[in-house]
Structure formats: C-alpha cells, structure tokens
Chain A
Amino acid sequence: MNLTLKVWRQKNAQTAGKFVSYKAENISPDMSFLEMLDVVNESLTHKGDEPINFDHDCREGICGMCSLYINGHPHGPKRGITTCQLHMRTFHDGETITIEPWRAQAFPIVKDLAVDRSAFDRIQQAGGYVSVNTGGVPDGNAIPIPKVIADEAFNSATCIGCGACVAACKNASAMLFVSAKITQLGLLPQGQPERYRRVQSMVAQMDEEGFGSCTNTGACEAECPKEIKLTNIARMNNDYFSAKLFREEEVHEQGH
C-alpha cells in the first residue's frame, strides 16, 4: 500500500505547529498503524530528518499509552480498539490520512503527536484509591457482591486512561474517564468509606485541570477503545450531587 500522511509536527508546547505531508510507501496491509509509523520514521531517520514523535508502549491495547486522532476519530475509525490494534487494511491504497494529537487545554503537546496526560494522574491521585488497613489478610471472597454489580464495576475498571474520551468530546471533557474511575470503586463495598469524599475530590481536580463539561453527546462512549458506558457519567453526577447536597460530612458545626 502507498499512502499520504498529513502529520501534525510541533517542536514543543511553546512553538507553533503545522501539518507536514509524508509518503508512506510499500506498507503491508497487515501492519498495525504504529508499525506503519515506524516504517515512515525509519525512512525519515535515513534521510537525516527528525522522526515523528508519538506515544506507544505495550502495543497490545492494554496500557493506554498510544493515542492519535486519525481522520476525525481518536484511535482511528474502528470501534473498541486502540491505535496499536488498528491495522492498515482498514485504509485503502492511495488514501490520505490526517494524524493529529489529542487536542485539549489540559493535554499540552510534548512534541508532535505526543501529549502530556499527567492531568489524568493528578485526578486519580486526588481520590481514585481505597484505604486498606494493615493486619491479617482478608479472605477475598468474604464480602458477597452481586455478580451484576461486580461486572459493572469491572467494566468501568477496564478504562485504560488513554484520553480518547477527551479527544472525542466537543468540549474536551474528561467526564467519561473520571466517572469510570469513580464508579469502579463506588460500586464495590471496599470503595464505600471514601465514596462521597472521592467524588468531590476527583471532580474538583478535574475542574482544576481545565477540562470542559459534559453535554451528553455520547461521542466519548462511541470512541472509547474499552467501550466505557455513558451511564458512568450519570452515576458520578448522582454521587456528586448526593455528596454535595444531601450528605453531612461532619455531623456538627466545626469550631476550628
């Protein structure tokens, strides 16, 4: 296959970027999208040009490191996969492919197609954990959990934090990510002690990072490589308003 790539090149967050066209020649349809970029980078290196910078790690769809906004779709046109799982047979010979980085205020560009997604780490650190006491090891099956609840929590837990939801959202909102992280813990008994504190801390951090807000368009759900459901967002909203409006964190007025 021979393809034309329109790639966003940007030296760093401070300088302005622009699109540069490259030819990708003799590409096997069985290559993954990232392998195709490897081939292009190889030829760029041989020519003495700067290779295209993009994020990747496991290349089997579980680490959440790869990104790329390909022809108007985060992780390319196919559903339920990451860019590393996207094969070149999805495209046709002679096609022009436009590759852009995730675009969001909260995801500043590091270089070319790589963006800094540490905003997600800070949201996670704000409350995405459960407290585990020291002492004897509890029996894993000691707390009964209905299967549907466990399944739903695990579905939310499949979020790999790649940021495709932010990239797909017209408002660059991180609510699908944040709600998945809140829900995976909030549904399970182990997550109950911090449930209402967690949702407030994580939403506060999300706002702090400068993500947009949710318009319920459903674009995030459609583009999520792990097919995280929009119901997570509703569940987060419910917990948040419940925490803010109806629950008492402190029973009495505090003097200090």
Chain B
Amino acid sequence: MSEFKQTLNSSLGKKLIMALTGLFLCTFLIVHVGGNLLLFNNDNGFSFNVYANFLTHFPPIEVIAYLLYLSILVHALYGLILTVKNRKARPVRYAVAAKSDASWSSKNMGLLGSVLFLFIVIHMGDFWFRYHNDKTMGFKEYRTDLATGETKVSDYTPANAEFSHSVSTENNVEVVRVKDLHARVAYSFSNIIYVIFYVIAMGAVAFHLLHGFQSAFRTLGWVHRKYTPVVYFIGTWLFAVIIPLLFAAMPVYYYYLSTQGAH
C-alpha cells in the first residue's frame, strides 16, 4: 500500500490524479448536456422533470453522482496543492513577464478552475441542494391521454410532506406527479445577472477544457502520432465549442422566454 501512496504523492502521481478526475468530469459533461437538452422541449418541463426525477431516484446514478462530487473536490484540492507547490518552485518571480509561446488557457488553468469551482457551488446550491432539501418546491401533475398523446399540466399539492413522485394510469390516462425543477430553472434564468454569470462560466469551461482535455492525455503519457490529433480535435470541437455553447444556450433561451412571457 505504501508503494501506491508514494506513487500518488510524487509530482507525476499528483498530475495523474488531476488527469483521471478531470477526464471523468469531462465524460460527465457529455451526459449532463445531453440530459439537459430536454430543457429545449416545449412541453412545460414534462420530460425535464421526469429526467430530474430519474437521476435522483435511480441507485446506480446516485452512486456515480457521489463519485462525481468526490472527483470535483479532489480535482480542486489537488489543483490547489499543485499550484502552491509550483509557486514555491519559483520563489523570486521574473521582472519581465515570460513571452514564451504558450496558450493563454494553459497558463491560466488555476484561474479558470477557480471560476468553475465558484460556478459549481452556486449552480449546485441553486438546483441540486434545493431539489433535495427545499420543502417549498412545487410539484406538477402531467396527465397524458394515451390514446391521443395529449398532455395536460397542472400544479399538484401533495397530501403528505414525504411525497416524492408517483406514476399511475387511470382510464387510459397516465398521471405523472413529479417535483417541478423546471419552474426553478425558468425562475433562475429570468434573472439577467444569473444568465450573464452562467455564460461567463461556460466560457471558462471552454478555455479550461481547450487545454485540459488534451493535457490530461499528455499527463497519462498517451501521446501517439495517429491519435493525438484526434484527442486535440475532440478537445477543441466537442469540449471547448459544442458543449459550452449548448450549455450557454440554455440560460439564454430561458431568459428569452421570460421576456416573451412578460409582454
């Protein structure tokens, strides 16, 4: 066991932990953006609320979720430890700032990471924490006529405080009662300050992953003439362009909807 400890405590070992947690968080982003595309479904939040309910009530996902929270904390903590150690390696700074060829994002991973950590705390506080602990959060009842496929939505007030969700079918009508996270999303994203903060944070995601995704592969030692360009391509287009743009589109779209509703 001490051999593993020594390996993980070496400078390369700490970077290994950064790389593995970082890549795990990257895979999470794919799932997260995929699921959240349901926000663009114009169905009064039916599919999104059912999806949110599924995520919080399906045990394997819950296990992975706790692994995910652990990864975020470890990634942030090791990032901090490495930054402190790296600063100690140069106690006297240069008078002239380095003009070496190196991308802006590669030199500012700590700054970008700090923005992201702040974002995650606010983001989880607003949605995850409320979803789990806010007793005042409302419920919605979706009645779908299975013959016509039409869905009617109404507010639902549970009879007892312990109620979480229910699915039942009566007379060819499917009744789904779930917590209304969608309303919370719409409410949060009607605030312009909040929307701007989300868009900035997604910019930080883009630059963090533009460098981070390919850097993780280098740290693991997986550099190959044939595959490294593929890694760069995925890191640039999927993780630094498509995913942040899709995420940023969500608050912007909901802000747009809120301004439409006001008129």
Contact = CB atoms under 8 A, between A and B. Distances in A.
Contacts of A72: 94, 96-100
B167 interface: no
Given A71-B96, A219-B102, A234 B10 contact: no
Given A72-B96, A105-B88, A168-B98, A216 B215 contact: yes
Contact of B90 (A171, A216, A222): A171
| Interface magnitude class on chain A | 35 or more
B12 A237 contact: yes
Contacts, number: 133
A100 B90 contact: no
B85 A219 contact: no
Contact of A207 (B10, B101, B220): B10
Given A234-B222, A235-B221, A105 B89 contact: yes
Contacts of B98: 72-73, 168, 170, 219
Interface stretch (B67-75, B103-111, B126-134): B103-111
A73 B220 CA distance: 29
Nearest to B8: A244
B152 interface: no
B182 interface: no
A203 interface: yes
Contacts of B168: none
A123 interface: no
Nearest to A16: B92
A239 interface: yes
B99 A212 contact: no
B240 interface: no
A214 B103 CA distance: 14
Interface string B198-225: 0000000000000100110011111100
Given A218-B101, A222-B102, A241 B16 contact: yes
Contacts of B222: 234, 238
Contact of B82 (A69, A204, A213): A213
Given A219-B101, A235-B221, A206 B11 contact: yes
Contacts of B107: 170, 215, 217
B89 A104 contact: yes
A98 B89 contact: no
A239 B215 CA distance: 17
Interface string B56-89: 0000000000000000000000000010011011
A22 interface: no
A8 B100 CA distance: 20
B239 to A, nearest CB: 16
Of the listed residues B10, B89, B91, the one surrounded by the most CB atoms of chain A closer than 10 A to its CB is B89
Contacts of A238: 220-222
A114 interface: no
Interface of A: 6, 8, 19, 69, 71-73, 77, 98, 100, 103-106, 168, 170-173, 203-204, 206-207, 210-219, 222-223, 230-231, 233-242, 244-245
Please list the 6 inter-chain residue pairs (A to B) with the smallest Cβ-Cβ separation, ordered nearest first.
Answer: A238-B221, A212-B89, A171-B86, A237-B221, A234-B223, A219-B100
Interface of B: 3, 7, 10-16, 82, 85-86, 88-103, 106-107, 109, 211, 214-215, 218-223
